[in-house]
Structure 1
Amino acid sequence: MLISVQALRALAAWVVVCHHFMQIFFDFHAKGPVGQFFVDRGAVGVDIFFVISGLVIYLSTQNKDMPAGRFMVNRIIRIVPAYWVYTAAMGLLLVVASPLLPHQVISWQNFILSLLFIPSENPGGYGMYPTLNVGWTLNYEMFFYLLFSLVFLVHQRHRPLVVAAALFAVSEVLTRYGWISHFYRNDIVYEFLLGIGIGIIYSRGWITPRLWLPLLAIAGAFVTIYHLPPSQRFMNWGLPSALIVVACISLEPYFQGNRLFKVLGDCSYSVYLLHVLVLYGGWLASERYGLNPYAVFAVCVPLIAVGAWGSYEFIEKGLYLRLKGWLDKRRAVGEAVALSRHNY
């Protein structure tokens, strides 16, 4: 894994944390330019995540052939356990503290559909959001993984075209005729293709190490994001996010060997899942005891960081390795039995 990309993943996760801090504590009403940036543009962390996701999936499967089912199982055991843990935790929080949390409502139907990554209207009435609100992005992730699994049916060089065609068919055709949820009719899904494109040019050695040009590109991309609204998300935020990813890869020599950035990147998924729970806990404490929101946030940040590290080590990585080991063992036993029958 590129350490520069790991660092960018961490940055994207913490930008989203700041965005939701402004939402939960201030209802998206900012008093200064920094706060206003996180209110208006903090959600761009999701766009950066999607571009990185396309890049990582492409690079991790490049020149590999495997059954589509095995690819999906590997993604499921990597993504699902942590998401289910924090969805259950959020559900419990809503049951216990629902009267104290504005606009947060839970229903069994929405909860079950959330666990299955099926988009549904949140009972709070504010859109297509699962019980753990940040999980809306994982509905797109699982959708992308499902379509990407089709690439293992074709030759390596045709795979990007297959993914692009499948994304277009679902997002522009099936949703238009109501055959699949309109949730997927969103140009944000094409940001995964930007990541695949970056993976292609990186594999061909077209991204060369530099310093000042990538830094200028990153600055220009953030200026663009700051001045353009997310109304046309792919164009206004997706393309600048892709430029940031390319620039960070070009800066890779300056990140190599940095273990801190690697750890921060490793923990970014758990940061993303965990932070809303911690922020809601901080908000409840601030409301009850009249605490300064920024002082509470200063406490929430290390709690999120430490909690995310533990979550990565024991839930993400720990469960993933156990489940993968168990599945590999069952697969080996099955192959051995099939071979013995064939020889017999």
Structure 2
Amino acid sequence: MLISVQFLRALAAWSVVGHHFMQGFFNFEASNALESLFVDKGAIGVDVFFVISGLVIYLATADKALSPGRFMLMRIARIVPAYWFYTLIMILVVAVVPAIFPEARLEPGHVLMSMLFIPAQNPGGFGVYPLLDVGWTLNFEMLFYCLFAFALLVPAAYRLWVVAALLYLVCYIITPAFDLASGFYHEDIIFEFLMGIVIGMLYRRGLCQASAWLPLLGIAAALAAIYHGADIPRALEWGVPSAILVISCVTLERYFQDSRVLKLLGDCSYSVYLIHVLVLAVGRWVADRTGIDPYTILPVCIVLIVLGAYGSYQWLEKASYRTLKRLLGIEGRAIISRQKY
């Protein structure tokens, strides 16, 4: 388990939290440089997540004789329980206190498709999003898992090419031809998973080793590219710098090793990602009703997210994974702490 990857998972999750704080409390209107940074760049946490997903899924399956069915069961057992739990919490909040999510609409068909990771137009009218809107990234994740499951039928050395061919087929041929999921999958961000697979292949071949100055230079270059940006496709503008960040941190793994704090932060990052939308929405609702300054509410929200995510990881994610693994008859060592959401 790579602690450097855990660190990046936590950093990516909290960058998304900052991005959504600016959205919820300020409607993306920044008044200083730090706010502008979260408005303009905070969403890059998603790109880092996708690269990490490709990396850890490749590494976690490279030495295992997993069938496609067994792989999908493990992914479902890992991803679904927490997502369903917070989607149900979202349903309850919208039903009881609709003012917290004034744009949300509860329609049974949309709720069902949200739970099944099927992209659909949100009845609130703001695009192809599930009820718990951060779940849009999980729709991409599930597509990647399904296609990677097919790639398990070939040797590890060829999986990159099989996944790449399948992604291109689904996203650039089938999706446009049949208007699949309202064109949701016709996005170049999907290829960031492939970048992670490439990093995984390089790591397994012992090629992620270098003097510290080189990965540090890579991190500096990636951050500079992210900061300045460019009018190019997202997979190039943010995906490539994200991949450079990941491979640079993996190369620096020896400096991260044995850090229990970073490991725990990474472990909790999936719950941070799922829970923060609910906490920030409640915080915004309280601020609107009381007139409390958003930056007075923010520390309270952060504490609630941290505590909620820790409890969620310990008593929801881990417990449900162990239980479902037993019920589904999944054998072998759990990989919960190494895999992405």
TM superposition score normalised by structure 1:
0.93
Which stretches in structure 2 are left out of the alignment for 5+ residues?
333-341
The Cα of 1:215 is off from its aligned counterpart by: 2.1
Give the percent of matched residue pairs that are identical in Structure 1 and Structure 2. Answer: 53
Shift of 1:98: 2.0
Read off the aligned partner of 2:50 and give its amino acid letter: F
2:257 maps to 256
Q: Deviations over 1:6-30 (max 9, x none)?
A: 0000000000000000000001111
Q: Is the 8 A contact 1:55 1:198 kept in 2?
A: yes
- Mapped partners of 1:210, 1:280: distance in 2: 45
Aligned to 1:339: none
Contact 1:209 1:253 in 2 (8 A): no
Does the CA-based 8 Å contact 2:99-2:285 persist in structure 1?
no
**Greater displacement, 92-101 / 115-124:** 92-101
Deviation at 1:230, TM superposition (A): 7.2
SS in 1 for 2:178: coil
Alpha-carbon distance in structure 1 between the residues aligned to 2:185 and 2:191? 11
Contact 1:209-1:252 within 8 A present in 2 as well = no
The alpha carbon displacement at 1:326 in A equals 2.3
Can you list the C-alpha shifts for 1:202-244, whole angstroms capped at 9, x where unaligned? 1111111432322222122122112215751001000000000
Task: Give, as a single letter, the amino acid of the residue that structure 1 aligns with 2:242.
Answer: S
Matched, 1:196 2:188: no
Note if contact 2:100-2:281 (Cα within 8 Å) is conserved in structure 1: no
Q: Report what 2:277 is aligned to.
A: 276
Task: Name the counterpart of 2:268.
Answer: 267
Specify the alignment match of 2:336 in structure 1.
none
How far off its partner does 1:323 sit? 1.2
Partner of 1:296: 297
| Equivalent residue letter for 2:22 | M
Paired position in structure 1 for 2:51? 51
| Equivalent residue number for residue 306 of structure 2 | 305
Equivalent residue, structure 1, for 2:315: 314
- Counterparts of 1:56-67 in structure 2, within 5 Å, are 56-67=56-67
- Residue in structure 1 matched with residue 149 of structure 2 by the alignment: 149
Partner amino acid for 2:87? Answer: T
Partner of 2:288: 287
Deviations 1:249-294 (A, max 9, x none): 1111111000000000000000000000000111111111111101
Residue 131 of structure 2 aligns to a residue whose secondary structure is coil
Give the Cα separation in 2 of the matches to 1:216 and 1:155: 34
SS across alignment from 2:214: helix
CA distance in structure 1 between the aligned counterparts of 2:307 and 2:216, rounded to whole angstroms: 30
How many residue pairs are counted as aligned between the two chains?
A: 331
CA distance in 1: counterparts of 2:179 and 2:126, whole angstroms: 23
**Does structure 2 retain, via aligned residues, the 8 Å contact 1:230–1:237?**
no
Q: Supply the distance in 1 between the matched residues of 2:135 and 2:227 (Cα, whole angstroms).
A: 25
Indicate the residue corresponding to 1:227 in structure 2.
228
Separation of aligned partners in 2, 1:179 and 1:124 = 21
Partner of 2:36: 36
After TM superposition, list the pairs within 5 Å mapping 1:1-344 onto structure 2.
1-178=1-178, 180-181=180-181, 182-229=183-230, 232-328=233-329
* Per-residue CA distance 1:2-60 (angstroms, 9 max, x = gap): 00110000000000000000000001111001101100111000000000000000000
**C-alpha separation in 2, matches of 1:246 and 1:165:** 23
For residues 173 and 220 of structure 2, what CA distance do their matches in structure 1 show?
A: 37
Where in structure 1 do 4 or more consecutive aligned residues deviate above 3 Å?
99-102
Residue 67 of structure 1 deviates from its aligned partner by 1.6
Q: Unaligned 5+ residue runs, structure 1? A: 333-344
> 2-side partners of 1:156 and 1:213: how far apart?
28
- Distance in 1 (alpha carbons) for counterparts of 2:216 and 2:75: 33
Partner of 2:335: none
Give distance in 1, aligned partners of 2:271 and 2:137.
Answer: 14
State the alpha-carbon separation in 1 of the partners of residues 162 and 250 from structure 2: 26
TM-score by length of 2: 0.94
Q: Residue 42 of structure 1 aligns to which amino acid in structure 2?
A: G
CA contact under 8 A between 1:12 and 1:48: conserved in structure 2? yes
CA RMSD of aligned residues (A): 1.5
Measured in 2, the distance between the counterparts of 1:48 and 1:112 equals 28
One-letter code aligned to 1:132:
L
Bigger relative CO (Cα 8 Å, ≥ 6 apart): 2
